[in-house]
A and B are shown apart, each in its own frame.
Chain A
């Protein structure tokens, strides 16, 4: 209807008492205009995102195949391409291999512990108690919002050989080690701190997931004589599986990048026992070896990308 009239420039003039004021344009030009308007909306994002995220992401990839050093900053396009040399050097570098092993240790030990703690808290809050739920929720979530740097400063003192943790362990008859000065215990100390700081995130995610467990099914299982543990393992846990997987992936992406804790607490020591891949990258950057740093960061990125892909697929299969 009302195909006539209208002035091209302003579709909004309520012309001639028509019920609608469509613009007279060919479909192609209408579509061009729509596209133009949409990209105007996207422009600030596209510019900033393109310049400060996409470009560095691609440059990092390119840099990992060059011998870029801090001296090349003046003239970045004069660097030499060295093919896979940086990666060859990287995987021949014992410190890097050590940092990969440390990062793996942190992730593989830290994730299940944090998940178990988060799940226990979520289940306890969801159906173990009837009062003070939100007070507990706030309490357990508080460490999540705090700066890792500040937390690491505090924990450095807590983990001293005669510090707070060993004092508390002493109450139950355990003689705690000199956590941060022992190659054996420095990593467990950081894992402990990571569990303490991150269990709140998982608690919130799992609490949301537990809302999806239908009470009728649980009640039916109860009537059929399943005890609380059986109900948990045969009903709740299978229904919660996608949420658990999501929590695991979200957390591993964060854990893979861990940097602040060793930076503040141990400087990567003792004897590189807490040197992470991020920290290794940061150090290479500090030495001016930008090419090597880029290669190291890309190894980490690939690990994270694979995890994200995995997450994307699990999320899709949920729908």
Chain B
């Protein structure tokens, strides 16, 4: 790779490299300080809105309206949070979000793995068509399907029910793609061995293949949970009364309606929506980041 054409230069290389190394060492400290400075500034800008939100959620309405803006709450109060729980049933919205997210995740893990297995390790008529369909619909945005979906859900009498919130997201082409890609990498010999030992496809799937699929299942689970927790357009359309609102729907409707200027309440609400997912992210950051990198790169 190095020097076929610059053969004469090669004796000079070690010296040049040493010079570079010395220069590098001298400037490295200064350079790193600049980079750290820039990163800390950018990091502060990234985190500041969250800090301001958290601090603001403990302020009274009077203090939030006061100018100039204050940083630290002068007169800290839990009132904003208390009102979410006592008057606005946030526990109900929280449960709705949680139920929808958990069922959606379980459905995706199971059903996407099953098709993924068929696509990766079985040979059958119609396989190409099925895979093509999955690939073509990878990027179908919710805004294209929500109008007919609403008509259909209305016809089925499911408007404002959990099934309406869950069913459209219970499987995803991206999940199938992820699982298939991973399962393609499982050696055929392993699966052949199971089949020869007399295991049927179901036994091979549950006993051999699934136990190996930890990493893609973690990725898929996290991506699905995140998507469901933050999902907005469809729940906004499908949930029509408060008892089925998810957290983002409730927060958006309060923030654009009756509580539009109740700053403390809205900041506390934002904290309550954001906190669980950020806590989850901090605990499972490795998987989150793996997930993004793998879906982005593959």
Contact = CB atoms under 8 A, between A and B. Distances in A.
Contacts of B277: 145-147
A154 B267 contact: yes
B127 interface: yes
Interface in A207-245: 207-209, 216, 219-220, 222-223, 243
Interface in A291-313: 293-294, 297-298, 300-301, 304-305, 307-308, 312
A81 interface: no
A142 B46 contact: yes
Interface string A60-84: 1001000010000100100000000
A11 B292 contact: no
Contacts of A25: none
A138 B139 contact: no
Interface in A122-151: 124-125, 128-130, 134, 136-151
Contacts of A140: 42-43, 46
B89 to A, nearest CB: 18
B293 A150 contact: no
Interface stretch (A86-94, A175-183, A259-267): A259-267
- Summarize B's interface: helix, strand, loop or mixed: helix
A294 B1 CA distance: 56
A149 B141 contact: no
B78 interface: no
B212 interface: no
Contacts of B147: 56, 60, 63, 281, 285, 290, 293-294, 297
Given A45-B115, A146-B278, A259-B233, A57 B144 contact: yes
A43 to B, nearest CB: 8
B130 interface: yes
Interface stretch (B80-88, B117-125, B213-221): B117-125
B237 interface: yes
Given A35-B125, A153-B266, A204-B292, A145 B56 contact: no
B7 interface: no
A164 B67 CA distance: 11
B118 A149 contact: no
Interface in B36-80: 36, 38-39, 42-43, 45-50, 52-53, 56, 64, 67-69
Interface in B100-140: 107, 110-112, 114-115, 117-119, 122-127, 130, 133, 135, 137-140
Contacts of A271: none
B289 A141 contact: yes
Contacts of B141: 253, 256-257, 300-301, 304
Interface of A: 11-14, 20-21, 31, 34-35, 37-39, 41-42, 44-46, 48-49, 51-57, 59-60, 63, 68, 73, 76, 121, 124-125, 128-130, 134, 136-151, 153-158, 162-164, 167-168, 196, 201, 204-205, 207-209, 216, 219-220, 222-223, 243, 246-247, 250, 253, 256-257, 259-260, 263-264, 267, 277-278, 281-282, 285, 290, 293-294, 297-298, 300-301, 304-305, 307-308, 312
User: Which 4 residue pairs of A and B lie closest in terms of their CB atoms, listed nearest first?
Assistant: A128-B35, A59-B148, A38-B124, A56-B145
